[in-house]
Chains A and B, each alone.
Chain A
Amino acid sequence: MSGESHDSGEYHDSAVRPYVLTQGRARPTRNTIGLDTLLVVADAGKPLSPSATRQSRDLLRMCARLLSLAEAAAHLRLPLSVAGILASDLVDSGHLIARSRIPEAGRPDLTTLQEVLNGLRRLS
């Protein structure tokens, strides 16, 4: 497992734990948010709590229109796990809407798979 010098840049080890940004939490309040969950602002006019962190404000602003959690995290340079926890809070507080996601541990149903196949065939 050692001697992977060609890997440099694709991962790094850090002593700084990301839960500093999430007030000590390692898991989101809901387990339905994944990297492919689509997020969009629920009510653009609804103000955030004055105590909201910069990261939460940035995330809400980033999701002004429809975007996946992974994209929002990448644009904001937030670790996925951190972005997931913050997004989960914003869904709980009614600031963000999470669009439906494939059920946990399940596979996409036949209709969805057929739609993916048709979509890819249109590209080829």
Chain B
Amino acid sequence: MGSAGSADRYLPDTVQQAVKILVVGDFGVGKTTMIGAVSEIEPLRTEETMTQASVGVDDLAGLGSKTTTTVAMDFGRITLSPYTALYLFGTPGQRRFWDLWAGLGEGAVGALVLVDTRRIEGSFEVIDQLELRGDLPFAVAVNHFPDSADHSPQALREALDLEPGTPIVNCDARSRSSSVDALITLVEHALALQKGPS
């Protein structure tokens, strides 16, 4: 079996399927905190590369108009049953990273959008984009920071101009149970969408 560390690293051999949820939000909003709070492994960091036109970025003299950007994504894992493992991928919310979502969102249960009420404007674009795409179920989790003002979910729903069906919950990304509750809200929503109007 090797050391305890490498024994914990692997999934039980009975696991047959993996599912994923994207935890979307700006840097510093608490994605990694939440993933660390619920993950059974130490959060890992992986890198994905994006090649994109460097609009508005200094062109490397004569080297072409594209840059390769490496985006670091933290992720964690929960083995939900002997058969199924859930992966949580922290996904940057800024516009320049949206190309990443196409691949990451494929086959995902949905996205949990983490919002920091101290800079709510950082969330408008992400939510607009998810509403526009329409193919990825999402819920909004308002991460409560110690110096956050108290806003009612209803006031935030209006401030974020959420569609009526989109769930919004308060959460504390440092708390395992609070983060799990936010994930449950998302999965319930995804399930309801999948079932269609009853």
**Residue ranges of A at the interface with B (Cβ–Cβ < 8 Å):** 1-2, 4, 6-7, 9-18, 34-38, 40, 65-68, 70-71, 73-75, 79-81, 99-110, 112-124
Contacts and interface: CB of A to CB of B under 8 A. Distances in A.
Given A104-B106, A116-B80, A67 B48 contact: no
B194 interface: yes
Interface in B1-21: 9-13, 15-20
B106 to A, nearest CB: 6
Nearest to A76: B46
Q: Which of B85, B107, B109 has the most CB of A within 10 A?
A: B107
Contacts of B163: none
B148 interface: no
Nearest to A121: B184
A74 B44 contact: yes
A72 to B, nearest CB: 9
Contacts of B104: 35
B107 A120 contact: no
B160 interface: no
A113 B16 CA distance: 15
Contacts, number: 181
B78 interface: yes
User: What interface size band does chain B fall in?
Assistant: 35 or more
Contacts of A81: 48-49
Interface stretch (B66-74, B139-147, B149-157, B165-173): B66-74
Interface in B24-54: 27-28, 38, 41, 44-49
Given A36-B19, A107-B107, A120-B183, A79 B48 contact: yes
Given A107-B108, A108-B107, A117-B184, 7 more contacts: A38-B15, A68-B87, A71-B41, A81-B48, A99-B15, A113-B190, A120-B80
B49 A1 contact: no
Contacts of B162: none
Contacts of B181: 124
A92 to B, nearest CB: 20
Nearest to A71: B44
Given A105-B107, A116-B109, A66 B15 contact: yes
The 4 nearest A-B residue pairs measured at CB? A119-B80, A102-B107, A74-B44, A65-B10
Contacts of A71: 9, 41, 44, 77
B17 A100 contact: yes
Contacts of B190: 107-108, 113
A104 B107 CA distance: 6
A120 B187 contact: yes
B133 interface: no
Given A65-B13, A120-B183, A2 B87 contact: no
